[in-house]
Each structure stands twice: as C-alpha cells, then as structure tokens.
Chains A and B, each alone.
Chain A
Amino acid sequence: MIRTALLALGLCAVTLPALAQDQQVLPARPGMPITNRPEPDEQIVAGLSRDNIGITTSFDGSQILIYGAIKRETPEPEGQKLAVIVTLEGPLGPVTIRKKSREFGIWVNTASVGVAAAPSYYAVATSGPLGDILDRRTDTQQRISIPLAMRAFSGPITVDDSIPFTEALVDIRKEQGLYKLETGGVHIVDNTLFRADFALPANLTEGDYKTRIFLLRDGKLVDKYQSAIEVRKVGLERWLYTLAHENAALYGLLSLALAVFAGWAAAAIFRFVR
C-alpha cells in the first residue's frame, strides 16, 4: 500500500521541471562531491573501481565497485543511526506499457500508458532495510527508491488507473535484472568506510550511468555525492551501430552483400565437397 502511494506521488508530483533540474546536475564534474549547502559535518569521499565500461562483442556484464569513506571534522554525532545508500542509474528513455485483454477470444493489447523517462537500469544498494534508514520526504526529494526513478507520464492518460501499469514496468524490469534493490548491499566498516558492489547485466544499453551516494542520519540526508560511469559500445560494436544509424543505406547494402556472399560461398563449398 505504501509502495503504491509512493509511486502515485512520485509520478504525479514531479513533472518536467524536476527532469530538467536533474539533467543539469548530471554533467557536474565527475568525482567531485556536489555541495549545494554549507559544509556538512560529515562528508563523503568516494571512488569508483572504473569510470567507463566498454561494450565489446564478448561483453557479458560487468562488475563495479563503489567505495568511499566518511570524512569528519568533528567527533561523530552520538545516538543517530548512520546509513549509506548507493544508486546506479542508466540513461532515461521513454517506455510504453501495454496491457492485454481478451477480445473475441484472443489476447490483444488494448490499453497503454506511456512513461516519458524511465531509467534503462536502476539499482539501489542500501546498508539496511530502506524503510528504516530513509524517511519518505528525503526519498521523494532525492528520488531514491525504485518506483520514484520513473519520471512523468507522456501523452494523455487514457486508463482509469495507471498504477498497475507502472508497477508492471518495475516488475518486468526486476525480472530482467535491470531494476534491483539490494538491501544490505552497502557494507559499512567502523562507521567510516563503505563499499558497494554492482553486477551490471549483459543486456546493457549505452549511455552515462549516474552514480549517487547518500549519507543519512536517522533517515535525513547529511551529504550526497554524485558521479558518472560512461558505458559505450566500442570497437566493432561501435562501428556497426554507428553505421546502422548514420549510414543506414550503406549498412543495409553491407548486410545484403554479406548474405549474398555467404549464400554463394555455401553453394560453392557444397559443390567442391561433392
């Protein structure tokens, strides 16, 4: 029930301005903490095991280690529960969610909901159960939990209740391993050092993967750190993809030439073998 309410809240309350703001934040210098308020008592100092991933022909997923420390000028505050959440978010893209219903005895797509921008990948690793370490207000402001990662609807909403649709999107992507919530995925040592491991799946789309680290005390945000990991097709993958999109006619002819050659070669070899 709470999840449903959150979902509705996130999608309705935050519209395009939030999106624009979000994208302004993204190009910030990688590796630099974003401090938009006076220096907090505790600050995140963090690093990534790698800041770019190349999708090669043999790409089969990738491991990313995000690690860091909490820097303190003053002694650690007493009695407030410390928590760290690390999120990794793939490029946003429009998604259409369709629902089937039975018409004339067969199952047909009859209703659809468009989401203007949903991340192609979204993983949240936490140091404890999300409900305990993060309050609702911070979650809504920072868009941390999975349902909040989706942005505004696109086009007019033609269904009575859009919630089952967005829930279905989350469920399907969770099943595909693209959306993940890893409770306990962040390990904190001595309330100072932390690390989170992410296993990126093989069916990754290219783009900038936004990394965010949130330092929380009693559910409230203390400090935030943001960086980006570049995921790019490289080598042959890059070449073919670029060719297919920028020089489609040539690419089409190339595919044909390849097929014709293969067909001819097969016939020739077959004759030779005989």
Chain B
Amino acid sequence: MQIYLPIAEVSVNIFTLLGLGGIVGLLSGLFGVGGGFLITPLLFFIGIPPSVAVATGANQVVASSVSGVLAQLKRKAVDIPMGLVLLVGGLLGSASGIYVFNLLTELGQIDLAVQLCYVVFLGLIGLLMLQEGIRTLQKQRKGGGVRKKRVQHTWVHKLPFKFKFRASGLYISVIPPLLVGVAVGILAAIMGVGGGFIMVPAMIYLLNMPTKVVIGTSLFQILFVSAFTTLMHAITNQTVDVMLALLLIVGGVIGAQIGSRLGARLKAEQLRILLALLVILVAGKLGLDLVLHPSNLYSIATGGE
C-alpha cells in the first residue's frame, strides 16, 4: 500500500515505513538510545530527500524521548538543573547547526558533511563502547574487579560559575555542561539525531555524572533540543513531513515495546557490545560509501541558485 508524502513528494510503501520505524524502535527499546542515528541514514536509503529525512528524524526523536523522559521522571532519574544548563547550550548549538546546515546545503556539501559526521562520531563511539564492553565482560569473568573511583581534580574544577547539581552530586562550573550542550546541539541539527549517543559518553566521562541520572537527563535535554530543531527546520526549510513522522512513530512505539521486553532477557554487557557492533556497522557502511567509487558520479538537486 503506497502513501504519498506531502512534503517529501515521494510515494512510499506504508509497511516499509512502519517496518523501518519498528526496527529502529526495537533497537531503541533494546539499547535505550533514541535511534535517530539509524533512522536518518535508513530514510536516505529508501529515497527520502536528505533535508526531509533530517528534519523528520528530529521530529521522530521528540516522540521517543517524551516516552523515555516520562519513564525516567517516575524513577527520579532526571537532574533537571543539569538538564536545563545542557539545554541552554543545546539551543545555542542547534540554532548555529541549522545555519551551518543551510550553508552546506547551498554549497552542495550537506550529504558529505552528514556522512562524515556519522562516520567519525559513530565510529569513535562504537569503538569506545566495544572496548569498554569487552573489558567489563573480561573483568566479570575474572570475578568482580575493583572499580576505580573517577573523581579527579583537573582544570575543569577551577572554572568560575560553580553550581551545585544535587541529583548528580556534583559541584562544578556551568561552563563544561554548557559546551557539551552546544556541541551536541550542533551535531543534532546537522545529523538529524537527538545526540544521545554522544551526550551519554560526554556526561559520564567529561562531566563525571553518575550513570543512574545520565540517561534521564540526556533524554530530558534531547527532548527540548530536538523539538527546537524540528521547529527551526519547519520554519526555515519547510522540510518536516508530518505524515512520514507519524508512520515512523507508530512503528517505533510498537518496536520499542518488543525491544524493551527482549532487552530484559539479555545481560547489560552483551547489549552494550551488540550496540557497539551495530554502531560500527552503520559507520563502516557510510565510510565505505565515501571511499568507494560511486556508481554515478553525478547527482541532481532541485532548486538551487
């Protein structure tokens, strides 16, 4: 059954979209990630114009993060002040990200920029997660190693504007979280993702936040940043396809439920290694596309000068 998407102006099979949303939902339920990093490249693959895929991907992330934040709020696993600081940075980053996005679109380099971002960030994070996952798995085999406490006093602690983040148990300057927020906001706008897969490691390793509040706080921030990104894309480029978003969301919701049930049966370390492998796979595929001789050297874009 075909459906004509009003903004993307292509006709796509309904079940392809539901299935796509479902698979991404399954993975996000399984691994606790937003899934934006998967949905955008998959949308490129089925022929949705890149600008529409990125903007609509952001809209889909809103839905999945609302779902996640509600669950995390119940568990009191959201550090709201920290989330707000990250959010301020995120909004600044998102606004400049949209500017960069439009600039690159005009130059005809947006596809390359998006692909490069994916390859570099996904590849890096995938490898880090894989390394970490394997290390913990080995430790568990040896039988409960001692965990190092990660409180180090560095230059970060000498910065001004210190603030007490109660839920995270941190007393640090607002500058590092602000910068993390900016960086994630820029990437979110360019890549059409929530940025959870960058934010989570940054919060753990750069800000030393306790793991239990990281997911909830990151989702809280992602929710607002991706909402803002969606709105900006809708206003400046008219590229949010609500019909496409709706189908992806419906598929995603069903997939997420199956995923989280499946996830409950697997060990956390196994999950992390699986996710790492998946992330590396996506990065590797996109990386190959950049390096291998393209089947057609020419590409066309409507509009332009």
Residues of chain A whose beta carbon lies under 8 Å from any beta carbon of chain B: 55-61, 93-101, 105-109, 112, 114, 120, 154-155, 164-165, 168-169, 171-173, 202-203, 205, 233, 236-237, 240-241, 244-245, 248-249, 251-256, 258-260, 262-267, 270, 273
Inter-subunit contact B240/A100 (CB<8 Å): no
How far, in Å, is A223 (CB) from chain B's closest CB? 34
Inter-subunit contact A255/B59 (CB<8 Å): yes
Cα distance, A241 to B291, chains bound together (Å): 38
Cα distance, A168 to B238, chains bound together (Å): 28
How far, in Å, is B85 (CB) from chain A's closest CB? 23
Cα distance, A94 to B11, chains bound together (Å): 22
Q: What 16 additional pairs, Cβ within 8 angstroms, besides A58-B3, A252-B240?
A: A96-B304, A114-B304, A120-B302, A202-B10, A236-B6, A240-B7, A244-B238, A249-B235, A251-B238, A251-B240, A252-B231, A254-B242, A259-B230, A260-B227, A262-B246, A262-B253
Q: Which residue of A lies closest to B257 (CB)?
A: A270
Cross-chain contact of B67 among A60, A99, A108, A267 (Cβ < 8 A)? A267
Which A residues are CB-close (under 8 A) to B9? 203, 205
User: Given contacts A96-B108, A244-B238, are A255 and B245 in contact (CB under 8 A)?
Assistant: yes
Which A residues are CB-close (under 8 A) to B60? 259
Which B residues are CB-close (under 8 A) to A94? 302-305
User: Given contacts A98-B298, A169-B300, are A251 and B2 in contact (CB under 8 A)?
Assistant: no
Which A residues are CB-close (under 8 A) to B296? 168, 171-172
B301 on the interface (CB 8 Å rule)? yes
Q: Which residue of A lies closest to B61 (CB)?
A: A259
Inter-subunit contact A58/B4 (CB<8 Å): yes
Cα distance, A107 to B298, chains bound together (Å): 11
Contact-residue bracket for chain B: 35 or more
Which B residues are CB-close (under 8 A) to A173? 300
Interface string of B221-233 (1 = CB under 8 A from A): 0000001001101
Inter-subunit contact B11/A264 (CB<8 Å): no
Which B residues are CB-close (under 8 A) to A255? 59, 230, 234, 240, 242, 245
Inter-subunit contact B66/A252 (CB<8 Å): no
Within 234-250 of B, Cβ neighbours of A (below 8 Å) are at 234-235, 238, 240, 242-243, 245-246, 249-250
Cα distance, A260 to B70, chains bound together (Å): 11
Inter-subunit contact B301/A96 (CB<8 Å): yes
Inter-subunit contact A93/B302 (CB<8 Å): yes
Within 55-73 of B, Cβ neighbours of A (below 8 Å) are at 59-60, 62-67, 70-71
